[in-house]
Structure 1
Amino acid sequence: MIARTLPVKALTLAACGGLMGCVAGQGARGTLDPPARTQYLGVDTRLLEGDLVSFVVQLAGEGGQSEAIAYTRCAAAQYALIRGYSFARHVRTNAGLKGGIWEADGVYTISPDLPRGTRTIDAEVVVDDCKTQGIPTV
């Protein structure tokens, strides 16, 4: 991939050399450099009490708040499966941007049976969906 990118950049720089308004790495059709991908920086799992668990995640790159929240959901689903449970229920998630890094703290309960409430997660289904989307789990 590097071998293909370098000649294109060289041609772009040569083409832009005599033109006003060209930006390094950009040509007439837009950016040549691929966009920064979401970088999943890890999960910190904290058992709060009994079946109540907090998942603090961080990500950088093109991902934003919704990706950070999805990352906590994926971590919770995988954690439930690791513990031998089939379900989780979302309690709350706080997310924010700190120094260019998105951080989310999602709290979930895990259980062997479908919990009450509308914000329940079937762990197997969610883990499969996370894999399809390329979001890592615990």
Structure 2
Amino acid sequence: MRPLSLILAATVALGACTMQDEGVSRDELAFDPSYMGVRTDLLDGDLVNFHVEMTGARGGADVHAYAECAAAQYALIRGYGFARHVRTTIDTQSDTWTGDAVYTISPSLPRGLKTIDAEVVVSNCEENRIPTV
């Protein structure tokens, strides 16, 4: 082989060798959120408004997850096992993301498609290091 071909082959081989943790994507390695707090407002009976704020979100799904974690923990604190998502609005300014989410909380599984089992969600939040209320 010619020296130039050898250098080219070595460069290609080195480029193919990347150090990544098995099962960890590049997005997960870069994800470093800062959860800046939750404010809750009881609207009416079982209807609760959650205001969350964070930086470092990858998108609206991260903000929604933070609000869902807060709602699940709140339901457990109140002695309820379930919640139902009503709506979430998300806004961003610079690197700060805010979420305004409304959930109903209930002792039994509520009707609707967007229901959550509070214990299961809180457990998932702990696994994913998302704080709750």
Residues matched between the structures, number:
106
> What is the distance in 1 between the residues matched to 2:125 and 2:31?
20
> What is the distance in 2 between the residues matched to 1:96 and 1:136?
20
**Over the residues paired in the alignment, what is the CA RMSD in angstroms?**
1.5
2:118 alignment counterpart:
123
Q: Cα offset for 1:46?
A: 0.7
| Contact in 2 for aligned 1:37/1:63 (Cα 8 Å) | no
| Contact in 2 for aligned 1:35/1:62 (Cα 8 Å) | no
| Contact in 2 for aligned 1:40/1:136 (Cα 8 Å) | yes
Residue 81 of structure 1, aligned match among 76, 93, 97: 76
> What is the distance in 2 between the residues matched to 1:46 and 1:112?
19
The amino acid across from 2:94 in the alignment is G
Consecutive unaligned residues of structure 2, counting only runs of 5 or more, are 1-17, 19-28
> What is the distance in 2 between the residues matched to 1:113 and 1:39?
33
Give the secondary structure class of the aligned counterpart of 1:58. strand
1:137 alignment counterpart:
132
| Contact in 1 for aligned 2:63/2:90 (Cα 8 Å) | yes
* Regions of 4+ moved over 6 Å: none
Residue 94 of structure 1, aligned match among 89, 92, 100: 89
User: Which shows bigger deviation, 98-107 or 78-87?
Assistant: 98-107
| Residues 85 and 35 of structure 1: CA distance in aligned 2, closer, same or farther (over 3 Å) | same
Q: Cα offset for 1:65?
A: 1.4
Give the secondary structure class of the aligned counterpart of 1:78. helix
> What is the distance in 2 between the residues matched to 1:102 and 1:62?
7
* Matching of residue 70 in structure 1 with residue 65 in structure 2: yes
